[in-house]
């Protein structure tokens, strides 16, 4: 091997050209790093192929009826996931409505000079702790705190406003509303964190210009800051929705796992993730193929929502530059 570096090197220099070993080590190290990057790609492809491939027999057998069917009965081999899709979307949207409101107002509260730094650090820690608590603990808490707490309210709403379809049934323990409430708490940190980043990315001079024109604190926030950060905040909401759609444990413990399509907030429902969690552990080969089909549907829904969310986020980041 010729050594072009040695020629330029002073005889007493501490610098050395790479030895042959160095070069081989370097090559294999770079190769390994490339393998690592390829491994992530392979993992995503494998996820889609593995779940999709195992779902093929189910798709061939049940086709589109699987998505439009409303009965899930392993004994008669009738499988339909429309109630689960309905429950997934309904609970996620309810959670987004509640968690989105609190998450975005928390983000505004923390970024728009309402608090001295020390107090806002306290709220920031509260949000981070909310994010750190495992979902199964939220489920347990939901069973023993949330459901008993909202039972009287639910009964009262059903008794006085029962004519409205949202309150048309009584809450008998698990149901859509407790599930959606707990889900809202679980997605709040995601929404608050991403919306905070979006609000912080708005240049300071934008706010100063609003103040300079005589805007009040809240006029500056609602008419200048929030519209400027709108894409990022919307991205935060979409990412929160993506989390809500895929969340499993809290729903499996709180939603009631009953296959029905109802507008009522108090009736038990089912979600795709809860359906998988409940049926997979005891599934025979017949059921595995339909569960794989259901998993594929869940993956498709969350993938579309999440990719939309990250595209929005990168669009918002580009807009700020």
Partner 1 sequence: MSAVNLAHPANAMNTPLPAAPSLQHQIEGRALRSILLTSLAWVSALLASVPLISVLYMLITRGGARLNLEVFTELPPAGFELGGGFGNALVGTFVMVIIGAAIAIPVGIMAAIFLAELGPYSRLAALARFAAKTLTGLPSILAGVFAYAMVVLTTGTYSAPAGGVALAVLMLPIVVLTAEEAMKMVPKIMKDAAYGMGSTNTQVILKVVLPTAMPAILTGVMLAVARAAGETAPLLFTALFSNYWIVDGGHLAAMSPTASLAVLIYNFSGMPFDNQLELAWAASLVLVLIVLVVNIASRIFGKPRF
Site for partner 1 in 293-312 (CB under 8 A): 295, 298-299, 302-303, 305-307, 309-310
Asked if residue 213 binds partner 1 (CB under 8 A), the reply is: no
Asked if residue 114 binds partner 1 (CB under 8 A), the reply is: yes
Q: Which is nearer to partner 1, 166 or 280 (CB)?
A: 280
Report which of 58, 56, 50, 91 is spatially closest to residue 74, judged by C-alpha positions: 58
User: Residues 71, 97, 126, 161: which binds partner 1 (CB under 8 A)?
Assistant: 126
User: Residues 157, 176, 225, 252: which binds partner 1 (CB under 8 A)?
Assistant: 252
- On whether the CB atoms of residues 254 and 240 are closer than 8 A, the answer is no
- Name the strand (E) or helix (H) holding 291: helix 285-320
Asked if residue 3 binds partner 1 (CB under 8 A), the reply is: no
- Radius of gyration of the CA atoms of the chain, in A: 26
Asked if residue 102 binds partner 1 (CB under 8 A), the reply is: yes
Which range in 73-81, 197-205, 210-218, 262-270 contacts partner 1 by CB under 8 A?
A: 210-218
Alpha-carbon distance 46 to 53, whole Å? 10
As measured in angstroms, the least distance from the Cβ of 282 to partner 1 is 9
As measured in angstroms, the least distance from the Cβ of 188 to partner 1 is 6
Alpha-carbon distance 268 to 278, whole Å? 15
As measured in angstroms, the least distance from the Cβ of 259 to partner 1 is 18
CB atoms within 10 A of CB 278: 14
Helix axes 82-111, 230-246, angle to 10 degrees: 140
Asked if residue 116 binds partner 1 (CB under 8 A), the reply is: no
DSSP conformational letter for 280: G
DSSP conformational letter for 63: T
User: Residues 57, 82, 89, 135: which binds partner 1 (CB under 8 A)?
Assistant: 135
Asked if residue 32 binds partner 1 (CB under 8 A), the reply is: yes
113 is written with which tokens?
């000079």
Backbone angles phi, psi at 34, to 5 degrees: -60, -40
β-pair partners for 72: 79
- On whether the CB atoms of residues 65 and 80 are closer than 8 A, the answer is yes
- On whether the CB atoms of residues 110 and 196 are closer than 8 A, the answer is yes
Which range in 43-51, 56-64, 71-79, 202-210 contacts partner 1 by CB under 8 A?
A: 43-51
Asked if residue 138 binds partner 1 (CB under 8 A), the reply is: yes
Q: Which is nearer to partner 1, 81 or 253 (CB)?
A: 253
299 is written with which tokens?
């993956």
Residue with tokens 């006085």: 160
Q: Which is nearer to partner 1, 102 or 166 (CB)?
A: 102
Name the percent of the chain in helix, strand, coil, to the closest 5.
75, 0, 25
Q: Which is nearer to partner 1, 109 or 166 (CB)?
A: 109
Which range in 57-65, 69-77, 126-134, 164-172 contacts partner 1 by CB under 8 A?
A: 126-134
Chain positions 143 to 162 lying near partner 1, rule: CB under 8 A, are 143-145
Asked if residue 89 binds partner 1 (CB under 8 A), the reply is: no
3-state secondary structure of 73: strand
Which range in 97-105, 164-172, 193-201, 223-231 contacts partner 1 by CB under 8 A?
A: 97-105
Judged by CB under 8 A, how many residues of this single chain contact partner 1? Answer: 90
Asked if residue 73 binds partner 1 (CB under 8 A), the reply is: no
User: Residues 63, 134, 148, 152: which binds partner 1 (CB under 8 A)?
Assistant: 134
């Amino acid at each position: 091997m010729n050594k072009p570096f040695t020629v330029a090197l002073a005889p007493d220099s501490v610098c050395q050209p790479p030895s042959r070993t160095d070069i081989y080590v370097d090559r294999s190290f770079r190769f390994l790093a490339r393998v690592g990057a390829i491994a992530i790609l392979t993992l995503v492809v494998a996820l889609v192929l593995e779940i999709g491939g195992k779902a093929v027999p189910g798709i061939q057998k049940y086709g589109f009826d699987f998505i439009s069917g409303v009965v899930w009965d392993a004994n008669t081999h009738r499988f339909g996931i429309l109630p689960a899709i309905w429950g997934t979307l309904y609970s996620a949207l309810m959670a987004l409505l509640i968690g989105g409101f609190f998450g975005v107002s928390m983000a505004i509260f923390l970024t728009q000079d309402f608090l001295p730094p020390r107090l806002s650090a306290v709220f920031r820690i509260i949000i981070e702790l909310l994010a750190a608590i495992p979902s199964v603990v939220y489920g347990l808490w939901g069973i023993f705190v949330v459901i008993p707490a909202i039972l009287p309210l639910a009964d009262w709403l059903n008794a006085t406003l029962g004519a409205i379809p949202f309150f048309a049934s009584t809450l008998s323990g698990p149901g859509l509303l407790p599930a959606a409430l707990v889900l809202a708490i679980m997605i709040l940190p995601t929404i608050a964190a991403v919306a905070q980043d979006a609000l912080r990315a708005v240049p300071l001079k934008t706010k100063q210009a609003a103040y300079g024109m005589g805007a009040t604190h809240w006029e500056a926030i609602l008419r200048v800051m929030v519209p400027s950060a709108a894409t990022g905040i919307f991205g935060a909401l979409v990412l929160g929705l993506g989390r809500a759609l895929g969340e499993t444990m809290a729903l499996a413990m709180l939603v009631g796992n009953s296959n029905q399509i109802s507008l009522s907030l108090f009736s038990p429902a089912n979600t795709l993730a809860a359906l998988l969690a409940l049926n997979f552990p005891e599934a025979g080969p017949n059921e595995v193929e339909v569960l794989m089909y259901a998993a594929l549907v869940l993956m498709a829904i969350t993938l579309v929502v999440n990719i939309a969310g990250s595209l929005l986020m990168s669009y918002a980041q580009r807009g700020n530059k």
